[in-house]
Each structure stands twice: as structure tokens, then as C-alpha cells.
Amino acid sequence: MRNFKSIDRMVFGRGTVAKISEIITKQKSKENDFAVYLIDDFFENKNLVSTLNVEGKDKYIFISTIDEPTTELIDQLTLKIRSYYGFLPVALVGVGGGSVMDVCKATSLMLTNEGKAHEYQGLDLIRNKGVYSIVVPTISGTGAEVSMTAVLTGPTKKLGIKCDFTVPDQVILDANLIDDVPNPQRFYTGMDCYIHGVEALTGTWRNPMGDSFGEKSLELCKEVFLNKNISRADADEKLMVASYMGGLSLTYSQVGVCHALSYGLSYVLHLHHGIANCIAFNYLQKYYPWGVEEFHQMLDIHNIVLPKDVCKNLSDSEINLMVETAYALDHMWDHAFGKDWKTKISKQEIKELYLKM
Ligand SMILES: [Fe+2]
């Protein structure tokens, strides 16, 4: 039996982020209680910071998203937050895309668990519930706002801290925050959502619960990226919900071939998750024929030209590291091909796929 944890509370609606201080105040019971905001540094010197109404003893830290989040970053943030007042904050708020939300989720857990973040990369290794976590997506698609994983790059692997405690306590979905996300970032992150739907709906771990969230997420994604007449405002609200539903589909189902290959690409080439997914998905007609065909239509409609030959100049050892990183993601291959997945795809086939990219 798998007994899944859900988000405790969710706010949905334009302009609702302005109410965040009301939500945080409810967590404060003592005079010295404070919250820490982790904010994508894209918002440094922008209006959003005043909208958040950071007050009293609250602190905020801008998070760079140039690189994917590392376990080292989580350890540094944990140390910094612990040292502010010598006691823990009552809430940790992550305002940004998938990276920042994952940083928030992982830091919340490391504040209440001993040791280093890389020791917890894996399934159900966390012992204690984290600091109350609130996530506010400012770009939609990753599903990080609802997922039970905080994906981190560690010293030896890219792997999530995955457990019930990783699920945020509160999410605020305010589409005003994603109205200005430029292409191609919006497209790449949106495609992460589309690919979650395709992979969740194609594999051996499927079930009616995962399918229901996956199908609705996919339907919304198609409206957003295949309907040429949809307004940006309408599309943004739908994309925000699609991302949330896509994240839920993965709670009950799983990602597959594309995500396994994408993790290898990101680990070696330090590519962001969304673009790495797109580079990999482009060559996966054999595994996801209808999904890749629609994906190609979306590329055309949105005038996206994907980088080519990204593995061309890699050494043998770098390619092999990529293959090993992907091959180690047993659960993704298991979902894609079944328990006997090692008889369905070999390291040589994975290597050949990488060499096409
Ligand atoms: Fe993803």
C-alpha cells in the first residue's frame, strides 16, 4: 500500500500572492517568530518583493537559478538560516520556478534533520518533518509546487530527496506571477509539464488516479501550446493548473525514458531540466510516438529551435557518466518498460540516443 501525502492548503487566483503575509502570520505565535523567503534573483529590485510584505524579523535571500540546485547550496542555506537568531523560522517560503521551490522544500527538511543534504538523496530517508513550507510558482510546468521530490545535484548523482515530508504545506497559485515569463523559458518549462503527462500516461505504473490527473494536465497543455487563438492570460491560468495536475499525476504514476535521459544530460552538461527534457524528447518517437509528434507541432507553433549536437564534443568518459546517471534511475525505466526493463533497453542503446542529441 502506498499512502500518499497531499498539499495541506492551496490558494488559487490572480492577485492572491499579496495575501501571503496573512498566511504567514497564522504560523507565528511568539514575538520572535520569523519567516524566511527564498526568492528567485530575477525578482531582485522588482515590485514583487514589496508585494510579499516581508516584515519584522523576517528575512529574505535571493537565489540564483543559473545552475540547477545542488546539495551544497542547501547545506549553505541551512547553516545561514540556523545562524540568523539561533532558532528556526516558523515558515520557509519559496518564490520562483521549479529550482527555487525545490530549494525551499529541501532546505525546509534540512533545517530539522541532522547531517548533509546529499545523505538524504533517495526515497524515504528523511526522519523529521521540515519547517512549514510555502511555495509560490513564478513559472509553471515543473509540478514542483505539489511534488514529493526536491531534485538536487549532489557530489555523486542527480537525485531527489523524495518522501511525504517533501510535499509543501501551502501553495499559492497566482497567474499574475507568470504573465511576464519570456519564451523560450516558458515553453521549455511548459514542455516539462507536457512530458510529465505523456510519460505518466505511458508505462506500467499507470492507474486510474494517475491517469485522471495526467489526462487533464495534458488536455490543458494542449490548449496552451497547440491552440493558436488562446489569449496569454487564459493560457497562463490553464498552464498553472496543468503544472499542478501534472505534478499530481506523478505522485500516482511516474516519469519515464525522457526524464531518465534528461537527468543524464543535466548532470554532465548542467542543462536546466526543461530544456534537457526537450532535447531528449525530440528523439524519442520510438517510445512516445503521439507525444513526440504533438511536441514537434508545438515547436513549430512557438518558433522554438532546439540546440543540436549537445553531446558532440563530449569525451567517452563524459558520455559514459551520462549513460550511468540515466541507467541508475531504476524507477523511471521500471515504469517505462516493466520490471524486466534491463532486457528492453541497454546501456549501448542509451548511449546511441545521447549521441543523436
Ligand atoms: Fe520534469
Nearest-10 Cα torsion for 99, 100, 101, 104: 120
pLDDT of residue 58: 96
Model pLDDT, residue 166: 96
Of 96, 83, 172, 81, the closest CA to residue 130 belongs to 81
151 CA to middle of ligand 1, Å? 10
Cell triple for 102: 525545490
Q: What is the CA(352)–ligand 1 centre distance, in A? A: 22
- Residue 157: per-residue pLDDT: 86
**Spatial contact of 214 and 246, defined as CB atoms under 8 Å apart:** yes
Dihedral pair phi/psi, residue 91, rounded to 5°: -155, 145
180-237 pLDDT, tens digit per residue, is 899 999 999 999 999 999 999 999 999 999 999 999 999 999 999 999 999 999 999 9
Domains of the chain: 9-178 (3.40.50.1970), 185-356 (1.20.1090.10)
Give residue 69 CA to ligand 1 midpoint distance, Å.
14
pLDDT at residue 112, rounded to an integer: 98
For residue 150, the CA-to-ligand 1 centroid distance in Å is: 11
Where the chain has pLDDT below 70, the residues are none
CA of 53 relative to ligand 1 center, distance in Å: 31
Residue 75 has a pLDDT of: 98
- What distance in angstroms lies between residue 260's CA and the mean position of ligand 1's atoms? 10
Q: What angle do CA 288, 290, 295 make, to 5 degrees?
A: 90
Instruction: Assign 3-state DSSP to the chain and report helix, strand, coil percentages, each to 5.
Output: 50, 10, 35
Triad 332, 335, 336: Cα angle to 5°: 85
Tell me the three cell numbers of residue 322: 551520462
Distance 68 CA to ligand 1 centre (A): 13
Residues 6+ apart with CB under 8 A from 321: 264, 267, 268
Q: What is the pLDDT of residue 15?
A: 96
What's the pLDDT score for residue 41?
A: 95
Distance 82 CA to ligand 1 centre (A): 31
**CA gap 134, 108 in Å, rounded:** 10
Q: If you measure from the C-alpha of residue 194 to the centroid of ligand 1, how many angstroms do you get, rounded to a whole number? A: 9
In this prediction, residue 82 carries a pLDDT of 97
* DSSP structure string for 101-162: HHHHHHHHHHTSS-S-GGGG-EES---S--S-EEEEESS-SS-TTT-SEEEEE-SS-EEEEE
**Span from the CA of 317 to the centroid of ligand 1 (angstroms):** 26
